[in-house]
Amino acid sequence: ATYNIAVLPGDGIGPDVTKEAVRVLELIREVDPEFDIRFTEFNWNSEHYLEHGTMMPEDGLEQLKAFDAILFGAIGDARVADEISIWQLIMPIRKNFRQYVNMRPIKRLAGIESPLKNEAPVDFIVFRENAEGEYSNVGGRLYAEQPQEMAIQNTVITRAGVERITRYAYEYAQATGRKKVTSATKSNAIIHSMKLWDEAVAAVAAEYDGIELESYFIDALAAYFVERPESFDVVVASNLFGDILTDLGAAIVGGLGVTPSGNINPERDFPSMFEAIHGSAPDIAGKGIANPIAQIWSAALMVDHLGRPELAKAIVSAIEQVLGEGKVRTPDLGGDATTEQLGSAIRQAVKEQ
Ligand code: NAI
Ligand code: MG
On whether residue 109 sits in a domain, the answer given is no
Whether residues 151 and 276 fall in one domain: no
pLDDT in tens, 156-172: 999 999 999 999 999 99
Whether residues 191 and 143 fall in one domain: yes
Whether residues 348 and 293 fall in one domain: yes
Report which secondary-structure segment, H or E, holds 26. Answer: helix 14-31
Give the model's pLDDT for residue 334: 93
Which residue stretches of the chain have pLDDT < 70? Answer: none
Give the model's pLDDT for residue 151: 97
Q: How far is the CA of 18 from the centre of ligand 1 (A)?
A: 14
- Ligand 1 atom nearest to CA at 73: 40
pLDDT in tens, 50-70: 999 999 999 999 999 999 999
Whether residues 120 and 241 fall in one domain: yes
User: With contact defined as beta carbons under 8 Å apart, do 61 and 68 qualify?
Assistant: no
Nearest ligand to residue 334 Cα = 1
Ligand 1 within 6 A of CB of 11: no
Measure the N-to-C terminal CA separation of the chain; round to a whole number of Å. 22
Give the model's pLDDT for residue 21: 98
Whether residues 263 and 246 fall in one domain: no
On whether residue 110 sits in a domain, the answer given is no
Whether residues 87 and 125 fall in one domain: no
Residue of 256, 259, 340, 346 to mutate, ligand 1, most atoms within 8 A of C-beta: 256
Ligand 1 within 6 A of CB of 149: no
Three-state DSSP at 148 gives coil
Q: Answer with the one of 206, 236, 252 that is the final residue of a domain.
A: 252
Whether residues 190 and 319 fall in one domain: no
Q: How far is the CA of 74 from the centre of ligand 1 (A)?
A: 8
From the list 108, 73, 72, the residue with the least C-alpha distance to 251 is 108
On whether residue 352 sits in a domain, the answer given is yes
Residues in contact with 44: Cβ distance below 8 Å, sequence separation at least 6, in sequence order = 8, 10, 55, 56, 57, 60, 89
Whether residues 152 and 60 fall in one domain: no
On whether residue 179 sits in a domain, the answer given is yes
Task: Tell me the C-alpha distance between 224 and 338, whole Å.
Answer: 34
Whether residues 245 and 277 fall in one domain: no
Give the model's pLDDT for residue 303: 98
On whether residue 264 sits in a domain, the answer given is yes
On whether residue 81 sits in a domain, the answer given is yes
Give the model's pLDDT for residue 214: 98
Strand locations in the chain (E):
2-10, 36-41, 69-74, 101-107, 123-129, 133-142, 150-156, 180-185, 212-217, 234-237, 262-264, 272-274
Give the model's pLDDT for residue 112: 85
On whether residue 315 sits in a domain, the answer given is yes
pTM above 0.90, yes or no: yes
Task: Give me the torsion for CA of 269, 275, 11, 280, rounded to 10°.
Answer: 140
Number of domains in the chain: 2
On whether residue 107 sits in a domain, the answer given is no
Q: How far is the CA of 251 from the centre of ligand 2 (A)?
A: 12
Q: What is the CATH number of the domain that holds 180?
A: 3.40.718.10
Q: Answer with the one of 217, 237, 252 that is the final residue of a domain.
A: 252
Give the model's pLDDT for residue 100: 97
User: With contact defined as beta carbons under 8 Å apart, do 133 and 94 qualify?
Assistant: no
150 is in which domain, residue-wise? 115-252
Q: Answer with the one of 252, 286, 303 that is the final residue of a domain.
A: 252
Whether residues 208 and 273 fall in one domain: no
Tell me which residue has its CA closest to atom 43 in ligand 1. Answer: 279
Whether residues 349 and 303 fall in one domain: yes
Give the model's pLDDT for residue 104: 96
Whether residues 206 and 267 fall in one domain: no
- Ligand 1 atom nearest to CA at 290: 19
